[in-house]
Each structure stands twice: as structure tokens, then as C-alpha cells.
Amino acid sequence: MNLENYYEYCLSKKGVTEHFPFDEDTLVFKVGGKMFALSSLVQWEKGEPSINLKCDPDRAQELRAEYSNIRPGFHMSKVHWNTITVNGELSTAMVKELIDHSYDLVFKSLTKKLQTEIQELEN
């Protein structure tokens, strides 16, 4: 997966907005005002792409044990976030599935009213 694919995939999800809340380097994707994915643009440019994604704590442990390029979230809660190095070890389908999982976790944490508003949006 390249940066353009990552960017387009995240923005294709309902209700997603992009932000740079920390600095001009860290691209953050949010749904309902809550982060579900973030990444350093400089790291992508250097050829060392990685993405921080929210993850169910039990699944996070399983993924970290199985894949060397899935580690506890860098500068994030190590319980709820993973950092995924996007270097080809994981298939694009797997990276998309992890993005979906993160999006779904955050979406489900939103109020029912906000969930309904987002679901009613047109893509």
C-alpha cells in the first residue's frame, strides 16, 4: 500500500475527515471527531511508512505476537493502539482490514445519534 492508496481508502469511509492537529507532518483521520488512523507523512517520504490504528486489546496482543511489523502504538495508548509498518510484510488487504477494524471500533464508540447522522451521509 502506498500513501495515496492509504489516503484514499481512509477518506472513502463514511463521515471521515482529515486533520493535522499536532503538526504539519502527522496526518490524522477522524470519524465523528475521534481519531481512528494517523501517520507521519515524512516517514512515508523516507520509505519508512507506518500507521497508528486503534485495535481491540486482545486482538492487538495476538497481532503483535504474529507479525513483527505490528507493535504497540507509538506515542499512543499501548493497550488500544498498534503501529503497523507498511513495508510489504502485510498484504494490502490485511492493512485495509486493520483500518476497517480501527474505524469500526471508533464508530461504535460514538453516540447513536452521531452514528445515525454518519450512516445517512452519501459517499
Domain that holds residue 24: 3-116
Higher pLDDT, 123 or 116: 116
Q: State pLDDT tens for residues 5-54.
A: 999 999 999 999 999 999 999 999 999 999 999 999 999 999 999 999 99
Using the predicted structure, report yes or no on whether residue 117 has a pLDDT greater than 80: yes
What's the structural domain count of the chain? 1
Q: What is the mean pLDDT of residues 66-92?
A: 92
Q: How confident is the model at residue 2 (pLDDT cuts 50, 70, 90)?
A: very high
In a domain, 122, yes or no: no
Report the CATH number at residue 59.
3.90.1150.30
The widest CA-to-CA distance across the chain, in whole angstroms, is 41
Instruction: Look at residue 30 and give its three-state secondary structure.
Output: strand
